[in-house]
Chains A and B, each alone.
Chain A
Amino acid sequence: MPSIKEIMETMEYGPAPESNTDVKRWLDSHSGGISHFINGKFVAPTGPMTDVINPADDSVIATLAKGTQDDVDAAVKAARAAFSKWSALPGYERAKYLYAIARHVQKRERFLSVLETMDNGKTIRETRDIDIPLVARHFYHHAGWAELLESEYPGFQPVGVCGQVIPWNFPLLMLAWKIAPALAAGNTVVLKPADLTPLTAQAFAEICVDVGLPAGVVNLVHGDGETGSLITGHDDVDKVAFTGSTAVGRMIRKQIAGSGKKLSLELGGKSPFIVFEDADLDAAIEGVVDAVWFNQGEVCCAGTRLIVQEGVAEQFFGKLDARLQKLRIGDPLDKTMDVGAVVSHTQLKRINALVKKGEEEGAVLHQWAAELPKKGSFCAPAFFTGTEPAHTVNETEIFGPIACTMTFRTPSEALEIANHSRYGLSASIWSQNIDRAIEAGAKVKAGIVWINATNLFDAGAAFGGYRESGFGREGAREGLHEYLVATSGKKGKPRSATPLEASVSPNLGKGELPEIDITAKMYIGGKQARADGGQSYNVMGKSGVIGQAALGNRKDVRNAVEAAAKAGGWSGVTAHNRAQILYYLAENMSQRRDEFAALLSASNGSSTKAATAEVEQTIRRCFWYAAQADKFDGAVHATKSKHVTLAMPEAWGVMGIVCPDEVPLLSMMSLILPSVAMGNRAVVIASQAHPLLASRLYQVLETSDVPAGVINLITGERDVLAKTLAEHDEVAALWYCGSNENVKMVEEASIGNLKAVWTDGGFERDWRDDSQGQGREFLRRATQIKTIWLPYGE
């Protein structure tokens, strides 16, 4: 050890270890193995055990049981049994439990921080200052929601039993993000912690016991992905929540397609970190530290694509290299370390392979140059320069402390680069020009936007992504919706899955000359369009054939999506403007009441009275959504002081809408109106049985100043077209009102880009009933929340 005199010359930091004596004692007391927590009891481990490793020194610190089908069954059964009582508790009673959990987390703050560090390899600085305080904050916040649930969410009820699977990068924090809202809303849970990091979950279960949480409300089953899939696929699970890789998210989406389970996915990212020339560069450099070198880069929302304006790029990369060399990497229990160990040697190998790939592809690696500890899975933090969009490392989530860099010339190019990604989790924007920063925040495709900051989290701000980063939100008012369902009225009849038998050849048998023959076309990009296949099918009315409708095929869907994608201006016009057009639509439809009523009667045999009422109600619904267009807006959340945190509902972009046959005009419009009111462009597959209403509708659209491409109407075989639409990667969200069998089909087909799919499970709705056919839930489903963090102060 150097003398004090010597230290006065070198001014080095010296070791500053956090004690782990208490945690070691706890680990000793669990030397029999970590096992499941089912129905309030710790189940003695059976079967083969796996090792739990401290990644900082490769030592085995515990052993872990792997959950079997029997374990999962028992856990789900316990959760189901606990559900009725737990969900029936007054909010105040549930709030008391959540409050007690928050308090206990705080009382065990140091213990949990040390345990998390030993299990995961992340630094004590982060577990102590970030992870564990956020865990407590999450339970406090949701104790509040439990209290307020009834008054704040009228018409909603808990989903039931939730199956939750969480990752290893923020073990206890992800557990909190899953369990707190589920419990607040009155659900019970079966959660699987990551097999690499199960220890704080065990400690959490012990806290549940300490606070007297009723048995079965929280159940933990340990294990790997196989156990996870037993939970997500379990028949008696009503809701699945997953945080992890996009690949596994896809598997889960597919696994539970058609099951009726509610799903939220928080997946991967390759988030942009945009540095404009007018940024405070030193501030942005620290931003990179917090974005990429935080938690060893094992962060789904890490800003790993540094997009820097060309004029300052060289200077920025120079500063970044200097800053990189200042990082301290080593024993994560040492309080002076910035970067700890990555979670496992497997993960380390994966990172190193990608780094090698980046170098092979021609990028220049700037790496932390000092020596890594001999033992443990440590990774030297680094960044690349010269990474082009086409390079593997620029597209692939590395999940390690490695950033890629690109340069841009203009703000619009910055956004083009930023948005050119499958993902859309977060974005960090650095500029001292408020106009520029806010514009970039508005235009970037990401669920979370940090202006002149990065990786800010709070239970009161929603977290979740766009695109293949998943759907659903965690935290805040928005996040609670993932754990609630609308208290439904009477379920309708199941819809038929019988495919349309499209009769496309002449020889009707009998005929008479109409006044003038009508050619019903489709409506694509503001133009009437004949079917690509050059075919029309006979439309059957109550008393035989009433005309022919265009028989759309996959190319028509393609064309319609293309037209909708081009109509992006619609999302940018004012809400007032959209409202005006919806009012105008109502006005023009009103002038054609009789025509629509007559067509309805001819189509499905509605009485004149019923048909007239349906038209009238359709017009009213135009008014209702026109009214909502500029009123369904976001919120400013109370998060940290000196931060404005905005929750903005944004349109998905291109939405697919598949219409049912019941009350065909009203149902079609009940789906189109909320979608376009919020700024989406809709590709609509009209009722296959009553397609002539769509061809009548486009005449109204044409006279109502609906811009080209905003509403596109396709007619033909519903589920053939729906499949193409569900598979289309440009379509961001899909509403499907078809049969139950085909709910499964569209949900499976949606995995390409992981579009958000909303269905009614294949049951008819009573569209005439405002509580089923209209409402804020439609508007909520027509939007996704973008959370924008705006720190301020001078």
Chain B
Amino acid sequence: MTHDFPRMTGTAFTPEWIDGKIVNFSAAERRASSLSGRRSVKKEWQAAWLLKAITCMDLTTLAGDDTPGRVRRLCAKARRPVRGDILEALGVEGITTGAVCVYPTMVSHAVKALEGSNIPVASVATGFPAGLTPLPTRLAEIRYAVEQGAREIDIVITREHVLTGNWQALYDEICAMREACGEAHLKAILATGDLQTLTNVYKASMIAMQAGSDFIKTSTGKESVNATLPVSLTMLRALRDFKDLSGQIVGFKPAGGISTAKNAIAWQVLIKEELGSRWLHNDLFRIGASSLLGDIERQLEHHITGRYSASNRHAMA
């Protein structure tokens, strides 16, 4: 889907939008846990939703042992995430993942491997995952990744600013990062597992959006707690409030720990219920995942054959 809205610009630093805001944890937990019982997608609808999830996937490798060869293999999978015969049986074509997400030094390999596919390369940056290198270094890292051809930059925030309530510092930092991104879209990783409370998550989300984040993203995948539904619910509500307050539209990316088709649908349901179907397209929704695709492929094959599938029948990522 093409953008039918302008790229968000952010707003001035507006702490009034978070003053006194407190998120009720138990209510968020209740909402998140009851939702999966309230909605269900079956048969063709399930297949369609899972295919949609693939198109929203940032197929990711962020490991110390990444090599150009590893990245090429991942990119091949991004171009052709589902076996051709399965797609044919489902009556769809041209399914690719939403992006490929790698470390900055891997960007050029990914760009090359994806040439002609129009699949964007996303790069983590800013001292991922802890983000505690000096700011000039972090900004330089963004510029490097952009120069290498990354069209999306997944930055990490300085958790200290949130944990000590230094919202101005958080705002200034992300503004500088957005500037460094230029045309590339900025996804702000809040590392919600480190922020702990939903109130922190809400406030950090709101400030990150004020500072011009095109996406807000839950986790690096390296915190002890990854994307959870209550955290995502809180971020989605912040995103909705931001839209109401500023008129600007921001995307959402849960990442880490979403490894089953069932999980993916739970997130889609949450987004549809809280924001609406428009947010289920990949210009506003991404799932950061590495092992999710395999499970979705098996489910899709099962949908066609009625037999439970095995992972060795689907290409490796």
Do residues A13 and B45 form an inter-chain contact, with CB atoms below 8 A? Answer: yes
Cα A7 to Cα B31 with chains together (Å): 26
CB-CB under 8 A from A282, the residues of chain B are 237
A113 to B44, CA, bound (A): 26
Q: Is A7 within 8 A of B48, CB to CB?
A: yes
Q: Does A518 contact B (CB under 8 A)?
A: no
User: For residue A283, which residues in chain B have a CB less than 8 angstroms away from its CB?
Assistant: 23-24, 27-28, 31
Let me know if A14 and B22 touch, CB within 8 A.
Answer: no
User: Could you list some 12 contacts between A and B, CB below 8 A?
Assistant: A5-B92, A11-B52, A11-B272, A15-B42, A16-B40, A125-B38, A278-B22, A284-B27, A336-B40, A432-B22, A432-B24, A794-B196
Docked complex Cα distance between A11 and B275 (Å): 13
Task: List residues of chain A with CB under 8 Å of any chain B CB.
Answer: 1-5, 7-8, 10-16, 125, 128-129, 278-280, 282-284, 286-287, 326, 335-336, 338, 432, 452-453, 642-643, 791-794
B67 at the interface (CB under 8 A from A): no
How many Å lie between the Cα of A579 and that of B178 in the bound state? 68
Interface hub of A2, A13, A15, A129 (most chain B Cβ within 10 A): A13
Q: Kindly identify, within residues 3 to 61 of chain B, every residue whose CB is under 8 Å from any CB belonging to chain A.
A: 20, 22-31, 34, 37-45, 47-49, 51-52, 55
B24 touches A452 (CB 8 A): yes
Shortest CB-to-CB span from A669 to chain B, Å, is 47
B42: nearest residue on chain A (CB-CB)?
A: A16
Nearest-neighbor residue (CB-CB) of A277 within chain B: B20
Determine whether the beta carbon of B42 is less than 8 Å from that of A4.
no
Is there contact, CB below 8 Å, between B38 and A287? no
Cα–Cα distance between A24 and B113 once the two chains are bound (Å): 58
Interchain nearest-CB distance for A127 vs B (Å): 12
> How close is A17's CB to chain B, nearest CB, in angstroms?
8
Cβ of B22: which chain A residues have Cβ within 8 Å of it? 278, 280, 432
Contact A280 B29 (CB under 8 A): no
The answer to whether B26 and A793 touch across the interface, beta carbons within 8 angstroms, is yes
Given contacts A4-B92, A8-B92, contact A326 B24 (CB under 8 A): no
Q: Name the CB-closest residue of A to B230.
A: A793
The answer to whether B280 and A452 have CB atoms under 8 Å apart is no
Evaluate whether A453 and B40 lie within 8 angstroms (CB atoms) in the complex, with A8-B52, A13-B45 already known: no
Is B29 a contact partner of A793 (Cβ separation < 8 A)? yes
In whole angstroms, what is the CA distance A338 to B273 when docked? 12
Q: Which residues of A contact B132 (CB under 8 A)?
A: none
Question: A14 contacts B26, CB within 8 Å?
Answer: no
User: In the complex, what residues of A have CB within 8 A of residue B260's CB?
Assistant: none
Other-chain contact of A4, B28, B48, B196 (Cβ < 8 Å): B48
Contact call B49/A11, Cβ cutoff below 8 A? yes
Instruction: Please tell me if the beta carbons of B39 and A13 are within 8 angstroms of each other in the complex.
Output: yes
**Secondary structure class of chain A's binding surface, majority of residues:** loop
With A283-B31, A792-B26 as known contacts, state yes or no: A4 contacts B277, CB within 8 Å: no
Extra pairs beyond A4-B92, A16-B40, A338-B38 (7, CB < 8 Å): A4-B47, A8-B51, A11-B272, A335-B39, A452-B24, A791-B27, A793-B26
Contact A129 B48 (CB under 8 A): no
Q: Is the CB of A10 within 8 A of B41?
A: no
Q: Name the interface size band of chain B.
A: 35 or more
Q: A8-B92, A11-B272, A129-B37 in contact; A280/B27 too (CB < 8 A)?
A: yes
B27 and A5 contact, CB distance less than 8 A = no
B90 within 8 A of A: yes
Knowing A8-B92, A335-B40, the reply to whether A286 touches B47 (Cβ < 8 A) is no
* Residue B91 at the chain A interface, CB threshold 8 Å: yes
A280 touching B24, Cβ below 8 Å: yes
Identify which of A3, A282, A283, A335 gathers the most chain B CB atoms within 10 Å of its CB.
A282
Would B44 and A286 count as touching, CB distance under 8 A? no
A453 with B26: CB separation less than 8 A: yes
Q: How far is B34's CA from A3's CA once the two chains are assembled, in angstroms? A: 29
Given contacts A4-B92, A12-B45, A125-B38, contact A794 B27 (CB under 8 A): no
C-alpha gap A16/B52 in the complex (Å): 19
Q: Is the CB of B45 within 8 A of A14?
A: yes
Cβ contact within 8 Å between B41 and A278: no
Please determine whether B44 and A1 come into contact, CB atoms closer than 8 angstroms. Answer: yes
Residue pair B26, A452 in contact (C-beta under 8 Å): yes
Count of A-B contacts with CB under 8 A? 97
Q: How far is the CA of A791 from the CA of B41 in the complex (A)?
A: 31
Q: How far is the CA of A498 from the CA of B20 in the complex (A)?
A: 68
CA distance A793 to B27 in the complex (A): 10
Task: List the A residue with the shortest CB-CB distance to B43.
Answer: A14
Residue interface mask B180-197, A partner, CB < 8 A = 1: 000000000000000011
Checking A3, A7, A11, A286 against B27 with a beta-carbon cut-off of 8 angstroms, the contacting residue is A286
A128 to B245, CA, bound (A): 39
Which are the 8 A-B pairs with shortest beta-carbon distances?
Answer: A14-B45, A283-B27, A7-B48, A791-B26, A280-B24, A432-B22, A16-B40, A283-B24
The answer, yes or no, to whether B199 is at the interface (CB within 8 Å) is: yes
- B177 on interface, CB distance cutoff 8 Å: no
The main secondary structure of chain B at its interface with chain A is helix
Interface membership of B198, Cβ < 8 A: yes
Q: Which residues on the A side are within 8 Å of B92 (C-beta)?
A: 4-5, 8
A326 to B237 alpha-carbon distance, docked (Å): 15
Residue of B nearest to A129 (CB): B37
Contact B30 A286 (CB under 8 A): yes
CA distance A10 to B1 in the complex (A): 12
Contact yes or no, A4 B91, CB < 8 A: yes
Minimum CB–CB distance from A278 to chain B (whole Å) comes to 7
Q: In the bound complex, what is the Cα–Cα distance between A794 and B25 (angstroms)?
A: 5
Q: Which residue of B lies closest to A12 (CB)?
A: B45
Taking a contact as CB atoms under 8 Å apart, the answer to whether A4 and B44 are in contact is yes
The answer to whether B48 and A8 touch across the interface, beta carbons within 8 angstroms, is: yes
* B268 cross-chain contacts in A, Cβ below 8 A: 11
Chain B residues near A11: list those with CB within 8 A: 48-49, 52, 268, 272, 277, 280
Among residues of B, the one whose C-beta sits closest to the C-beta of A9 is B1
A4-B48, A4-B92, A335-B40 given; A453·B27 CB < 8 A:
yes
Would you give the shortest CB distance from B317 to chain A, in whole angstroms?
22
CB pair A14 B38 closer than 8 Å: no
Give the docked Cα–Cα distance between A791 and B230 (Å). 15
Contact partner of A326 (CB less than 8 A), chosen from B25, B29, B37, B273, is B273
Inter-chain CA distance A452–B197, complex, in Å, is: 17
Please give the distance in Å from B284's CB to the nearest CB on chain A.
12
Given contacts A13-B41, A335-B40, contact A280 B23 (CB under 8 A): yes
Chain B residue with Cβ nearest A2: B44
Please give, as numbers and ranges, the residues of chain B lying within 8 Å of A335 by CB-CB distance. Answer: 39-40
Nearest CB in chain A: distance from B34 CB, A: 8
Expressed in whole angstroms, the Cα–Cα distance for A14 and B42 within the complex equals 7
User: A791 CB to closest chain B CB, in angstroms?
Assistant: 4
User: Bound complex: CA of A14 vs CA of B46, how far in Å?
Assistant: 9
**Interfacial chain A residues near B20, Cβ < 8 Å:** 278
| Nearest CB on A from B45, distance (A) | 3
Inter-chain CA distance A15–B280, complex, in Å, is: 19
Question: B26 contacts which of A7, A12, A278, A642 (Cβ < 8 Å)?
Answer: A642
Residue of B28, B29, B30, B45 touching A7 (CB-CB under 8 A): B45
Q: B residues within 8 A CB of A643?
A: 26
* Across-interface contacts of B30 in A (CB, < 8 A): 286, 453
Rounded to whole angstroms, the CA-CA distance of A292 and B48 in the bound complex is 33
Q: Which residue of B lies closest to A10 (CB)?
A: B277
Interface centre among B26, B30, B42, B199 (most CB of A within 10 A): B26
CA gap between A278 and B21 in the complex, in Å: 8
Interfacial chain A residues near B55, Cβ < 8 Å: 8
Which of chain A's residues have a CB closer than 8 A to the CB of B273? 326
Chain A residues, Cβ within 8 Å of B44? 1-4, 7, 14
* Residues 204-253 (chain B) with a chain A CB within 8 angstroms: 237
A5 to B37, CA, bound (A): 26
Supposing A3-B91, A4-B90, A8-B48 touch, asked if A16 and B26 sit within 8 A by C-beta, the answer is no
Q: Kindly provide the distance from the CB of B113 to the nearest chain A CB, expressed in whole angstroms.
A: 26
Q: How far is the CA of A792 from the CA of B27 in the complex (A)?
A: 9
A283 CB, nearest partner CB in chain B, Å: 3
The CA of A8 and the CA of B52, in the complex, are separated in Å by 6
How many angstroms from the CA of A261 to the CA of B310 in the assembled complex?
A: 67
Q: Which residues of A contact B39 (CB under 8 A)?
A: 13, 335-336
Q: Which residue of A lies closest to B1 (CB)?
A: A9
